[in-house]
């Protein structure tokens, strides 16, 4: 009987050790997967930042070109200058995606205000034929249109990467240990009305409505 009990304990211990090894290997593999997906999120975030930075850098040239138009609305120039300054105050790591929804929300709000100011400036510019004939202005319009398209694509790719990462840490068995290893959900860019279509930079429709 004693030998039987000892033998039974040995089998139980061996099974326990086997389970521990299996769980450890699973955790190791799961951690590697979450690391890859987290890095994927950061990579897409860097693309988002790069494209927003490109737009941010184009605006001073646009404003300077517009200032050359006689009697251009100063309130519009002030609005876009202030909106650009607000964007500069929202500091988020350029290579590491935000972990807090509040951070991303503040970033998105500032960028949205800049988008609105930029759209207004371009609409107002349609009232100035000499400005529209300016080759530099037309070139900036084309660059901004391309940038807006890149921003829309980068935001979608970022959200896709976040979805893959968030799904991985909530799926069994990773959900058991992801929290222990310090992984937590990352926020998405919130959808806004019309966000599925990049803002139009060429406002030819204004001509037809003013006829």
- Look up tokens 């080759």; give the residue: 135
What is the distance between the alpha carbons of residues 190 and 155, in angstroms, rounded to a whole number? 10
Two tokens, residue 70: 């006689």
Question: Residue 18: what pLDDT?
Answer: 64
Q: How many domains does the chain have?
A: 1
Q: Does pLDDT of 37 surpass 60?
A: yes
Q: Is the peptide bond before 118 cis (omega within 30 degrees of 0)?
A: no
Is 20 contained in some domain?
no
Instruction: Give the pLDDT band (50/70/90) at residue 209.
Output: very low
Is 87 contained in some domain?
yes
81, with CB counted inside 10 A (0-12, 13-18, 19+), is middle
CA 75 vs CA 54, 199, 203: distances in Å: 24, 22, 20
Q: Which of 22-26, 59-63, 170-174 has the highest mean pLDDT?
A: 59-63
Q: The domain containing residue 188 runs over which residues?
A: 36-210
Is 25 contained in some domain?
no
Q: Whole-prediction pTM value?
A: 0.80
């Amino acid at each position: 009987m004693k030998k039987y009990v000892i033998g039974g304990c040995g089998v139980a211990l061996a099974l326990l050790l086997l389970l521990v090894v299996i769980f450890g290997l699973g955790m190791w593999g799961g951690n590697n997967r979450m690391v890859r997906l987290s890095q994927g999120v950061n990579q897409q975030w860097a693309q988002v930042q790069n494209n927003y930075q490109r737009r941010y850098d184009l605006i001073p040239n646009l404003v300077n070109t517009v200032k050359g138009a006689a009697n251009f609305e100063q309130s519009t120039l002030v609005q876009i200058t202030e909106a650009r300054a607000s964007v500069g105050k929202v500091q988020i790591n350029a290579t590491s995606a935000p972990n807090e929804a509040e951070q991303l929300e503040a970033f998105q709000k500032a960028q949205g205000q800049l988008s609105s100011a930029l759209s207004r400036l371009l609409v107002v510019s349609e009232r100035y034929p000499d400005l529209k004939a300016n080759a530099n202005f037309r070139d900036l319009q084309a660059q901004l249109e391309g940038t807006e398209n890149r921003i829309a694509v980068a935001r979608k790719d970022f959200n896709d990467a976040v979805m893959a990462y968030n799904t991985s840490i909530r799926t069994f068995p990773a959900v058991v240990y992801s929290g222990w290893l310090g992984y937590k959900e990352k926020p998405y860019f919130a959808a806004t009305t019309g966000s599925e279509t990049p803002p139009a930079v060429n406002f030819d429709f204004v001509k037809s409505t003013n006829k």
